[in-house]
Amino acid sequence: MSMDLSVSIAGLELRNPVMTASGTFGYGEEYAEFMDLDRLGAVVVKGLSVKPKEGNPPPRIVETASGMLNSIGLQNIGIERFIKEKMPFLRTYDTKVIVNFFGDSVDEYVEAAEKLSSVDGVHALEMNISCPNKQAGWAVFGTDPSVTFNVVSSVRKSTSLPLIVKLSPNVTDISVIARSAVDAGADALSAINTLTGMAIDINTQRPILANKVGGLSGPAIKPVAVKMVYELFRSVKVPVIGMGGIMSGDDAVEFMLSGASAVAVGTANFINPSATIEIIDGIASYLLGRNIGRVSDIIGAAHAA
Amino acid sequence: MSRSFSSVVLENRPVHKSHNLIILSAPDEMPVPQPGQFYMLQAGRGTDPLLKRPLSLFRMVDGSIQFLYRIRGKGTSLLADMKEGASIGMLGPLGNFYPVQSSLKIPLIVAGGIGVASVFSLVENIAGRAVVFYGARTKDDLMMAEEMRTYAKELVISTDDGSAGSKGNAAAALENYLASNPMLHQDLCIYACGPHPLLRAISDLAFRYRIRTYVSMEEHMACGIGACLGCVVNTRDGYKRVCKEGPVFSATEIIW
């Protein structure tokens, strides 16, 4: 039986639905020793800003039950160095390269999008709107529908690349924000970013992370993510990239059944650097076992009456 | 060559009330580890604990890799429960290693507590040359001290309560040695692994006596391969990853 694992997201044809989640895969180099990047549907690189960012003081991570909290603080080398030092490596591969980016003002988002749009080998942009806005008392962009609309539409005007908006789950109703992003011109949505959380050391009686608060990822958040993807499938027409605690092919299938057109693997990369490959193979064996010839046939299947 | 592999537990036994020695098979295709490098070990089979455990290589002997570890949480408890014959997911060897200086240098090696695990193979590699300062809480907390003695040129023991060797920590013992040996300090080189306050004290001594010093740092770690940017330490050139640019850093580089 021939198996068609390809999916289409925002005009991008992916050889399979498995991508890497931003911030868990560096710029691909660290993983090349452990796996063939060309097997991936897409590589989503560590979030970039116009200027380099040094990130938060340590401790930056703490393990929690079936998950981990991180407060890396968006450390990155900046767009200029990324283009010079990392893109030549990524261009040697035949996979799709999606660049995650962020800013602390609308202007900075626009500048980042403009700079990235002309880079040879960048196939799409993923916009992180879960970061604080310096022009609005550091309130998070992606928690307010009109702020979301404003920043996404400004970026939309400054790039012709497919634009994916990565949503924050730390909101009352993710569908409201999603509709704002889509109305502003997003071609696809990524869901979900990490959930905010905290862990306290009972011996020192202080938060463990230097930043006190961090983002929770890993299997602990999977049911929350699956439910949000399920809601988004109903409330918006654009494709959704599902992520949050995917460890296996079965987890990826669950996200696709809930409505994801593709999936991103994050924390699992930390535990097993070839996790993405095992997940691609796991999806294929699920389909094979059920005699399903095309992976796209299972997208949103859980919504059937 | 592969740094991602599965090992078989050959032996896993207590060497102290809260410390075990685990001996694992090393596949032929694994790169040869250097003293100071570490591995990530999978503890348990489920998702809790989720992450692999970073452990310093203790020794490599006859195609096996050995780790001396403290049982302190869920992960290391599960590791301690692993029986002979069990398989265990591994990544390694990872990180950099202790740079061994020319034979002119007299290596002074400092181990505080479980820090002995990281420096033991260095002492072994330069057998007969190193003066080793090994500090522990009490006499009962000294591990592998007799084994260490066979490879060290000289072994200086210290304990916090004075139950073995001199009373005080390994930094105090080192300082005493430096003060009472009026040799040329530029012929010395210090390698240290242990708790953060001990390393800071060693670093102060190194600065005062102008001795080239390398310290092995620790930080919360997720991936071990440089991707997550979780395990950084603050240095004069900004944050550096313990798993990639480290774990061994020049003491002058670290912002203590």
State residue A134's pLDDT score: 83
pTM for the predicted model, two decimal places: 0.95
Share of chain A above pLDDT 90, in %: 96
- Over range A253-260, report the average pLDDT: 98
* Cβ distance of B230 and A70 shorter than 8 Å: yes
Tell me what the mean pLDDT of segment A6-14 comes to: 96
Q: Which residues does residue B241 pair with via DSSP β-bridges, in sequence order? A: B232
Q: Are B1 and B85 in contact (CB under 8 A)?
A: no
Compare B106 and B7 and report the one with higher pLDDT. B7
Per-residue model confidence (pLDDT) at position B1: 63
Spatial distance between the Cα atoms of B112 and B192, rounded to a whole number of angstroms: 8
Mean residue pLDDT of chain B comes to 94
Residues recorded for chain A: 305
Contact B187, B205 (CB under 8 A): no
Under an 8 A CB cutoff, do A58 and B234 touch?
A: yes
Question: Which member of A30, A61, A272 has the closest CB to residue B226?
Answer: A30
CA–CA distance from A27 to each of A34, A110, A182 (Å)?
A: 14, 22, 28
Burial of B14-30, coded b for 16+ CB within 10 Å and e otherwise, reads eebeebbbbbbbbeeeb
Average pLDDT over residues B238-254: 97
Whether B3 sits inside 8 A of A33 (CB atoms) is yes
CA distances from A131 to B19, B90, B109, B171 (A): 43, 35, 46, 44
User: Nearest CB to A66: which of B3, B4, B48?
Assistant: B48
B18 compared with B105, residue with greater pLDDT: B18
Tell whether the model's pLDDT for residue A233 goes beyond 70: yes
Residues A137-186 have pLDDT tens digits of: 888 999 999 999 999 999 999 999 999 999 999 999 999 999 999 999 99
pLDDT for residue B45: 85
pLDDT at B181: 83
Mutate to test the interface with A, among B220, B240, B241 (most CBs of A within 10 A): B220
Average pLDDT on A225-230 reads 98
Name every residue whose Cβ is closer than 8 Å to that of residue A248 and which is 6 or more positions away in sequence. A278, A279, A282
At residue B184, the pLDDT reads 63
* pLDDT > 70? residue B162: yes
CATH topology of domain B106-250: Rossmann fold (3.40.50)
Full DSSP string of B201-235 = HHHHHHHHHT-EEEEE-----SSSSSSS--SEEEE
Residue A205, pLDDT above cutoff 80: yes
Cα distance between residue A252 and residue A266, in whole Å: 12
Domain ranges for chain B: 4-94, 106-250
Q: Is A131 marked active-site?
A: yes
Domains, chain A, with CATH or none: 7-303 (3.20.20.70)
If you average pLDDT over residues A3-12, what whole number do you get?
Answer: 95
pLDDT, residue B62, reads 86
Sort strands A163-166 and A124-128 into parallel, antiparallel or unpaired: parallel
Residue A1 has pLDDT above 70, yes or no: no
* Span B4-94 CATH architecture: Beta Barrel (2.40)
Nearest to B220 among A61, A273, A274 (CB): A61
Q: Is the pLDDT of residue A240 over 80?
A: yes
Interface contacts (A, B; CB < 8 Å): 92
Q: Convert the pLDDT of each residue in B59-95 to its tens digit.
A: 999 889 999 999 999 999 999 999 999 999 999 999 9
- Do residues B24 and B48 lie in contact, with contact meaning Cβ atoms separated by under 8 Å? no
ipTM of the predicted assembly exceeds 0.90 = yes
Alpha helices in A71-118 (DSSP H): 78-81, 87-91, 106-117
Active-site option among A42, A106, A112, A131: A131
Q: Among all chains, which residue has been given the structure tokens 């009109």?
A: A146
Is A95 or B181 the better-scoring residue by pLDDT? A95
- For B165-201, the pLDDT digits (tens) are 999 999 999 999 999 887 666 688 999 999 999 999 9
